[in-house]
Chain A
Amino acid sequence: MIRTLLVANRGEIASRIFRTCRAMGIGTVAVYAEPDAGLPFVREADVAVALGGSSATDSYLVIDKILGAARRGGADAIHPGFGFLSENAAFAQAVIEAGITWVGPTPSNIAAMGTKVEAKQLAAAAGVPVLPSAVAEGDDPSAWLAAAVGVGFPVLVKASSGGGGRGMRIVESPDQLADAVVGARREALASFGDATVFLERYLAAPRHIEFQVFGDTLGNVIHLGERECSIQRRHQKIVEEAPSPVLTDAMRAVMGGAAVGLASAIGYVGAGTVEYLYDDTPDAPEYFFLEMNTRLQVEHPVTECLTGTDLVRWQIDVANGLALPLTQDQVERRGHAIEIRLYAEDPANDFLPTFGPMHTYEVPEAAVGLRFENGVETGSNVTTFFDPMLAKVIAHAPTRTQAVRQLAQALRSMRIHGPVTNRDYLVGVLNDADFLAGAATTAFVETHRALLDSRLAVGDERAHLVAALLSGSLMRVAQDRRWSFAPIGWRNMGVHRQLVELADADGGVHRCTYRWISPGEVTVTVDGHDHGVGVVRAEPVGSGHELVLSIDGVTRRVVTAMLADHTWCNSAAGQSTWALVPRFPETAGGVASGSPIAPVPGRVVALHVVEGQQVSAGDALVTMEAMKMEHKINAPADATVTEVRCAVGDQVDAHQVLVVLA
């Protein structure tokens, strides 16, 4: 029986597995790469073993390091979490050969589903509908084209190994195919060590519906129902829910049965997920096998909420050779559960990953039906080395509407002061009429681009701005109390007013003037609009204030937090960030205008220009890899390359100038 479990993973999933271990009386061992040393999961384990290295390939992906850590940490079992080595059959095999209990499917299970081409063949053999596809073989683009024509455009180019959207490209027309194959191969090689990619028929707006399956070593296989994960960006899920708003009981039985059939066919052990594309546009809904993930999924809490189970406990019990605790008939599902994935990324900037210190990370107080899986805490540093998921928030309620409301409210209440996150975007999605109607497909993000620029309502945003303004004023006075006997900003001439400029998150500058009439009353002008502001309450809290402000007759409570020139405001309406515009502009720097800079820290993987070269607007200059995604840096305008300031293989910082254009 397992006594001490090592989790070969990081962040919230490591924390989540440790929690079950503690409940089961099992010891815990964490492993961590250098940038993660300060994260909560490292502290939460009984024993933590440093892996060294900062990239995944130097740490969480190194089998020998993990096995060595298990020995040194005294672990007799390893749980791989998801991502990293979780679907690596060689790793599973190595663990078993080292005499350590492997908490996961058998190496042969993993291998069977590990390449998409083979997986599809197995699925087809098990009677599961599959999409037409072909492997992109050799180096001849014309052969790729022939294969693509056989599959039928539009096609999806995807890595044969791995998942999570990496190495995927949609190709609408034949002329884009060669580029897509080359790029996908490069990403696939970098991420999974296997450059094989294949082409598959692409459905424009299907739903993503997946079934949680579970098998034990005694040959029992059941499913725990579906999860719908249609809302995806960059082919990665961000909102997951169960039940699916569109699935009938009959379809659930058919698709669930097919999933169990496939799992049974390969003698599946442990937690797995059979993913389908579901197209409800034709008269009779169609579903196609997408892939099977031989691991616990990020979104497993949705199923746990609905079925009242602890799937990690099930995994451990199965690894200990126990039978599944439920038969298919005993599986009950209650209510509706929705999960969102909170990412450090900027939806308005093409979901580009963000990074930096997390000054404040506070979730609302525990409430029935609300579950937080946090990967960071106040003081954590969000790095660019790993997946930028910060946390998951799951709401479980009797109805879908209630779950949506509770989840949106929880998100709005979170205080997340640090890198830009997708929180506001997620709140926007949860409030979207199509989403509420259950009409979202995998095309949702693309077809609802207005949500990318989610903002607070005008009145709330103005209240936040005024709060940031007044909090800054109060803070400045508190920092030097020598003249605090005088009213703030006191003037004996009525014409003088304090002037402060604050920039919103989009960089829009708001010109604010104010004059404190008394500690309870301020006249404020924002962008030419006058506001009478009553300060009902102004208490110092943390690095800011708790302010109760009455603005134009509406009273709101706003909590501020300040760090250097930044102020975060939180209220029931949500969060906003404001930057104090320097009173005196910096003297202009020496960078030629228009010279492209690195959007994120990363590595230069390709240079497309040389010094002296003429480029046209839109020409690719540099390809960078960051967060395992490729970013093409294009020329902003017609120009001449006067200087190349990077080389292939260089690690570059965000905002570093890569190429000087003139």
Chain B
Amino acid sequence: MAVLPTRLDARSAEFRANAAAMQVLLDEVIAQQHQATIAGGERYIERHRERDKMLVRERLELLVDRDTPLLELHALAAWGTGDPVGAGNVNAVGIINGVECFVNGTDMTVKGGASNPSTVTKSLRGMEIALANRLPYISLTESAGADLPRQAEIFVPGGASFKQLTRMSAAGIPTISIVFGPSTAGGAYNPGMSDYVVMIKDRSKVFLGGPPLVKMAIDEDADEEELGGAEMHARVSGLADYLAVDELDALRIGRDIVGHLNWRKRGPGPTMPADAPVHDPAELLGAAPADVRKPIDVREIIARIVDGSRFEEFKGAYGTQLVTGWASLCGFPIGIIANNGILFSEESQKGSQFIQLCNRIDTPILFIQNITGFMVGTRYEQGGIIKDGAKLINAVSNSTVPHLTLMVGASYGAGNYGMSGKAYDPRFIFTWPNHRIAVMGPKQLAGVMNIITKGRDPEAVAALEAQVEAESTALFATGRMWDDGIIDPRDTRTVLGLALSAVHTNEVKGTSSFGVFRM
């Protein structure tokens, strides 16, 4: 397999300008990540510690195996929504007793662990990932329940989390709930729906209705311990399967449970040499222009993430604005579909064919998105660009091999769909800090509006352009959980490697069953 050449010059002014611009964006992401870890505020963190409790990320660190990688997802969920950055909980893929697991943990310092709408969305996405990839699911539970003033936004969709828990269980994916504190009402169903429940003496309090609600409902003066204490659940109700003496003990038990699962991954695992890329992944910082309208050769990115920078290009001379080909990443064979410009009919057909080939050979697909959309214009409409775009969306939608999506620049228009955007259920989807996402580019959108409104309201158009500009940033997108997180471009290979490893926990199986390809 050929080693990709490079024309990237890390000493060039252009590269350095790109890297500097990317660093500025990255610094903001890092600052926001830090904010997410202390979103509860000093006072509540202090109070939490005074109660001799660990912060959720400290619990997570003790749960996973030492020195193994830990991939936190949706770290900046709720950014820009008004809800606390991070959404008051933590999602992560980590390795526990040698088993890749999905961990969801409540951050009790954020509004007492009460759920806001972002919390619900984040939890549900986590369960989706666990279910799709067959990752044992572990909840570090501690919650006051729903944030009551927000109940209208939470109550109905929130119910899905209990459905998902039992569906995971039905699918044979172990669900483990470790209860660190109060877990009331809806929260009580988290342990209730889990395969394994660990409670902590004098700490876990699990009840459908707490003492105030019981007083209201049946005028009973209930004792908290009697009503839902860990010892009661361990000895009387049977809801607790394990009674831990403290947090450390609970985490130890959680690890022991995973240890006994006899968990076997269903995918074939890595089969290729996992040598590092020939070209330095650190150069990814300056590989993409900060201005997404400037073109880049996506092969420069591929060359810095795949094993040995080796890439077997498929249909290299045809539909050249879409790069397709074979490679391996951290030893996992993959097909790559990457934008190198806008999508024409040829590119769409090429992509559709390539997706079918990947399905025939059970190979996961990495989509690298840098797309401003499908080509428009009379010539292309007459050439059937809609039919060809439909072919690509058909192939993407019905493909059953795992999709990983990486957003390295623009993601505008139907190109987002054809390239396995969020709505097309990629197993994992990550973005670079320079990522832009919208129905179309803000300037283009403003221009369109100007034409439609015949230039009558330039102020409104300018306001719309500014709004779309603000709503198309990587932070805005990740805040709405349109992706699984913003990553440092230099970490791309590691992140995708971990994602592929997680993906291989489930069967990696293609299909030959697609919708009707319109000819």
A residues contacting B by CB (< 8 A) are: 473, 476-477, 480, 482-483, 485-496, 498-500, 583-585, 587
Contacts and interface: CB of A to CB of B under 8 A. Distances in A.
6 contacts: A477-B67, A485-B494, A492-B75, A493-B33, A494-B33, A496-B72
A485 B330 contact: yes
B67 A486 contact: no
Contacts of A495: 33-34, 37, 57
B341 to A, nearest CB: 30
B98 interface: yes
B69 interface: yes
Given A492-B488, A493-B72, A486 B33 contact: no
Given A485-B274, A492-B485, A493-B33, 14 more contacts: A476-B67, A480-B68, A483-B501, A485-B330, A485-B497, A487-B69, A489-B68, A490-B491, A490-B494, A492-B491, A493-B57, A496-B70, A498-B67, A584-B248
A78 to B, nearest CB: 57
Contacts of A494: 30, 33-34
A486 B497 contact: yes
B249 interface: yes
B66 A489 contact: yes
Contact of B249 (A480, A492, A587): A587
Contacts of A496: 57, 61, 70, 72
B150 interface: no
A483 B66 contact: no
A311 B495 CA distance: 71
A476 B70 CA distance: 15
Which 3 pairs from chain A and chain B are nearest by CB?
A: A584-B252, A486-B69, A490-B69
Interface in B257-303: 269, 274
A493 B330 contact: no
Nearest to A489: B67
A483 to B, nearest CB: 5
Given A483-B95, A483-B501, A498 B488 contact: no
A477, A489, A499, A585: residue with the most chain B Cβ atoms closer than 10 Å: A489
A498 B66 contact: yes
A483 B498 contact: yes
Given A483-B69, A485-B274, A492-B71, A587 B494 contact: no
B331 interface: yes
A492 B72 contact: yes
Contacts of A488: 67
Interface residues of B, number: 38
Contacts of A483: 68-69, 95, 498, 501
B324 to A, nearest CB: 24
B494 to A, nearest CB: 5
B62 interface: yes
Given A485-B331, A488-B67, A493 B245 contact: no
Nearest to B495: A492
A488 B248 CA distance: 24
B272 to A, nearest CB: 11
B488 A493 contact: no
Given A480-B98, A483-B501, A587-B249, A489 B69 contact: yes
Contacts of A482: 98, 269, 501
Contacts of A480: 65, 68, 98
Contacts of B71: 492
B62 A486 contact: no
A486 B329 CA distance: 12
A587 B67 contact: no
Contacts of B22: none
A15 to B, nearest CB: 43
B487 interface: yes
Contact of B494 (A476, A487, A493, A583): A487
A490 B245 contact: no
Interface string B44-81: 00000000000001000110011111111001000000
A147 B84 CA distance: 89
A477, A487, A490: residue with the most chain B Cβ atoms closer than 10 Å: A490
A482 B67 CA distance: 12
B128 to A, nearest CB: 20
Contacts of B34: 494-495
B4 interface: no
Interface string B23-47: 0000000100110010000000000
Contacts of B497: 485-486
B75 A493 contact: yes
Nearest to B250: A584
A398 B287 CA distance: 68
A494 B71 CA distance: 11
B406 to A, nearest CB: 14
B177 to A, nearest CB: 19
B72 A584 contact: no
B33 to A, nearest CB: 5
Contacts of B248: 583-585
A499 B61 contact: yes
A490 B70 contact: yes
A493 B64 CA distance: 15
A580 to B, nearest CB: 10
B19 interface: no
Contacts of A486: 69, 494, 497-498
B251 interface: yes
A583 B61 CA distance: 11
B486 to A, nearest CB: 9
B126 to A, nearest CB: 16
Contacts of B33: 493-495
B481 to A, nearest CB: 16
A271 B68 CA distance: 64
B447 to A, nearest CB: 38
A473 B65 CA distance: 11
B354 to A, nearest CB: 25
A421 B251 CA distance: 38
B33, B68, B485: residue with the most chain A Cβ atoms closer than 10 Å: B68
Interface in B467-490: 485, 487-488
Contacts of B72: 491-493, 496
Nearest to A482: B501
A496 B269 CA distance: 27
Given A485-B274, A492-B487, A584-B251, A473 B75 contact: no
A487 B488 CA distance: 14
Nearest to A497: B61
B67 A493 contact: no
Interface string B100-138: 000000000000000000000000000000000000000
A476 B66 contact: yes
Nearest to B61: A496
A480 B67 CA distance: 10
Contacts of A477: 67-68
A587 B248 CA distance: 11
Contacts of B274: 485
A584 B246 CA distance: 10
Nearest to A481: B274
A272 B318 CA distance: 100
Contacts of A473: 66-67
Nearest to B37: A495
Interface string B478-519: 000000010110010111011001000000000000000000
A498 B58 CA distance: 10
A565 to B, nearest CB: 13
A477, A485, A499, A584: residue with the most chain B Cβ atoms closer than 10 Å: A485
Contacts of B255: 584
B238 to A, nearest CB: 22
A480 to B, nearest CB: 6
A494 to B, nearest CB: 6
Interface in B213-254: 245, 248-249, 251-252
Contacts of B269: 482
Contacts of B75: 492-493
A477, A490, A493, A494: residue with the most chain B Cβ atoms closer than 10 Å: A493
A493 to B, nearest CB: 5
